[in-house]
């Protein structure tokens, strides 16, 4: 559904002087193909280009060179932008920047009205979206009364109501504590079972994306590796190179193996706990 071909992107077009001064692109010769329904994690240090690429995907920014195709539509063609912006929805780090309604219901209704959702179906769609993300709030509840985690869920409900083909979560859990973060990730997986969509998940926390189909590693505006978590987890040097740290239970499993204790490869927190208890 997403096809990025040799995309290079500068926030400000370089002039010759800049080029001499080593003006660097935010993204450099990026190619990536994402089929519908895939769960992909974009990973890498601060400033490595993850958010820039997500902005190219819904046409907020256009590639300086190369092409970005979303379901066959080229983001550089102005006439394609409404379809692309509808297909690809982004939730950013701070949900408050995206909340436009006074109440939960108004907030979800805003996007629906914008895309011309039939007026008589908006109320039932709001109820559907609230229930889908497990937000324990009725539609009359003021947004200002929600906790940080509830605001994140509302941001998720507001975009899922629009039935996106692709959802990009750009550090959308960064405001949450570890418990709320785990709940949010679980909610997301429950939702994907009910309504399939492509999920691009940007995070600095690898434990949130151990269940991804693919990890894409960014460094200095380039994609330097991609593959399944099971494969890339093995390459600790590569991960370190991208500023990524495996969850503590991976390191613990490694230390146990060094001591000659047999630990299965598909380790997670629960399995390791069970193993240690036996």
Binding site for ligand ATP (CB under 6 A): 11, 26, 44, 46-52, 218
Residue tagged 């992909």 (tokens): 40
Q: Which residue sits closest to Mg ion, CB atoms considered?
A: 51
Bridge pairing between strands 73-74 and 65-70: antiparallel
Does 51 bind Mg ion (CB under 5 A)? Our answer is: yes
Q: Nearer to ligand ATP by C-beta: 103 or 174?
A: 174
What is the pairing mode between strands 166-170 and 214-219? unpaired
Q: Rank residues 24 and 273 by Cβ distance to ligand ATP and give the closer one.
A: 24
Give the bridge partners for 60, in sequence order. none
DSSP label at residue 199: E
Closest approach, Cβ 222 to Mg ion, in A, equals: 16
Closest to ligand ATP by CB, 47 vs 82, is 47
d(CA 181, CA 166): 21
- Cβ at position 172, least distance to ligand ATP in Å: 12
Give least dist CB 275 to ligand ATP, A. 34
For residue 54, state whether it binds Mg ion (rule: CB under 5 A). no
- Choices 44-52, 61-69, 144-152, 189-197 (CB under 5 A): range interacting with Mg ion: 44-52
**Size of interface with Mg ion, in residues (CB under 5 A):** 1
What is the C-alpha to C-alpha distance for residues 22 and 31, in angstroms, rounded to an integer? 23
Q: Are 89 and 162 in contact (CB under 8 A)?
A: yes
Q: How far is the CB of 82 from ligand ATP (least distance, A)?
A: 23
Q: Write the secondary structure of 106-133 as one string of H (helix), E (strand) and C (coil).
A: HHHHHHHHHCCCCHHHHHHHHHHHHHHC
Q: How far is the CB of 232 from ligand ATP (least distance, A)?
A: 17
Of 138, 188, 139, which Cα lies nearest the Cα of 159?
Answer: 188
Judged by CB, which is closer to ligand ATP: 197, or 218? 218
Q: Which positions touch Mg ion (CB under 5 A)?
A: 51
């Amino acid at each position: 559904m997403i096809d990025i071909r040799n995309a290079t992107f500068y926030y400000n077009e370089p002039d010759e002087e800049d080029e001499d001064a080593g003006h660097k692109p935010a993204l450099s010769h990026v190619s990536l193909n994402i089929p519908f329904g895939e769960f992909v994690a974009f990973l890498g240090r601060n400033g490595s280009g993850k958010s820039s690429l997500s902005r190219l995907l819904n046409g907020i920014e256009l590639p300086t060179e190369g092409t970005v195709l979303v379901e066959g539509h080229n983001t550089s063609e102005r006439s394609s932008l409404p379809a692309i912006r509808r297909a690809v929805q982004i939730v950013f780090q701070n949900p408050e920047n995206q909340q436009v309604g006074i109440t939960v219901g108004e907030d979800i209704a805003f996007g629906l009205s914008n895309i011309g959702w039939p007026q008589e179906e908006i109320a039932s769609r709001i109820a559907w979206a609230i229930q889908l993300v497990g937000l324990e709030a009725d539609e009359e509840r003021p947004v200002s009364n929600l906790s940080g985690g509830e605001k994140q869920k509302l941001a998720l409900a507001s975009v899922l109501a629009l039935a996106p083909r692709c959802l990009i979560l750009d550090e959308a859990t960064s405001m949450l504590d570890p418990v709320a973060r785990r709940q949010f990730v679980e909610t997301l997986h429950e939702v994907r079972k009910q309504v399939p969509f492509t999920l691009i998940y940007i995070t600095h926390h690898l434990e949130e994306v151990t269940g991804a189909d693919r990890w894409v590693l960014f460094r200095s505006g380039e994609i330097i590796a991609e593959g399944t978590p099971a494969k890339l987890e093995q390459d600790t040097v590569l991960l370190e190179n991208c500023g990524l740290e495996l969850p503590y239970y991976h390191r613990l499993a490694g230390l146990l193996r060094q001591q000659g204790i047999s630990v299965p490869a598909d380790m997670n927190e629960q399995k390791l706990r069970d193993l240690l208890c036996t």
